[in-house]
Amino acid sequence: MTYPDLLSGQTALVTGGSRGIGKAVALALGETGAEVIVNYSNSPGKAEEVVQTIKAHGGSAYALRANIAEERDVDELVKAILERSGRLDVLVNNAGITRDGLLMRMKTEDWQAVINLNLTGVFLCTRAVSRTMLKQKRGRIINITSVVGLIGNAGQTNYASAKAGVIGLTKSTAKEFASRGITVNAVAPGFISTDMTKELKAEEILTAIPLGSFGTPEQVAGTVRFLAADPAGSYITGQVIQVDGGMVMG
């Protein structure tokens, strides 16, 4: 088997695949032979560009809109994929937002919006694909958490709580699904250059990163591809893999 064909014949859903880390993950999985469903919420044009790039490299992809924080949208998304592709092998729970603010002044709606997408969205997508993966006796679920879910961050109680919740969800689901050939892992990026981090003051943050730079979406995508591939990821489950330039050790 050649490397580009590691995922051939498989179908992969990437939530929030239109920009940033999700886009890089979609391109990496497409390059590796999977048919990729590029989910988006507000950026149809960007999602279509990702699809066209995958196709231009000889891969297969299509874009589908769904608000991942909404149960009905998620169920309809998975139904549409199964009708069109007939299978679903890889789920990458990537869609996420921030609504930062100090706890004392945090609006309940900002707490709720982040929990609804970043944590409940992961639950909704995992539940929606579970029947199909359990029947197939094969599946890879990769949840994008954050090092902030491990160490906390002032101004991000909502985001850190959601990301810590994703780690608990990852480990519990890994235990529930292990006997059925489904692995569930989390990838915890540190600071990655995307729209989400473009407002941050780089100089202060860089002093805390031993490798001395922000990461790229492609560096995160490489780890996701590793976890999705056979045999690379097949004996790893319930783990949190940090991609953070050494920011958080031990």
The residues binding ligand NAP (CB under 6 A) are 15-16, 18-22, 39-43, 67-69, 94-97, 117, 144, 146, 189, 191-192, 194-197
DSSP-derived letter for residue 151 is: H
Q: Which is nearer to ligand NAP, 44 or 58 (CB)?
A: 44
Tell me the chain's radius of gyration from C-alpha atoms. Answer: 17
| Closest distance of CB 26 from ligand NAP, Å | 9
| Closest distance of CB 70 from ligand NAP, Å | 8
Total count of residues recorded for the chain = 250
| Closest distance of CB 55 from ligand NAP, Å | 19
Q: Residue 128's closest CA among 79, 181, 61?
A: 79
Q: Which is nearer to ligand NAP, 4 or 76 (CB)?
A: 76
Q: Which is nearer to ligand NAP, 134 or 205 (CB)?
A: 205
Q: Residue 215's closest CA among 243, 185, 178, 234?
A: 243
**159 given a catalytic annotation:** yes
Q: Which is nearer to ligand NAP, 217 or 233 (CB)?
A: 217
Contacts of 153 (CB under 8 A, 6+ apart): 159, 160
Catalytic residue among 3, 40, 159, 235: 159
Amino acid identity, position 232: A
Q: 142: part of which helix (H) or strand (E)?
A: strand 139-144
Contact yes or no for 238/140 (Cβ under 8 A): no
Catalytic residue ranges: 159
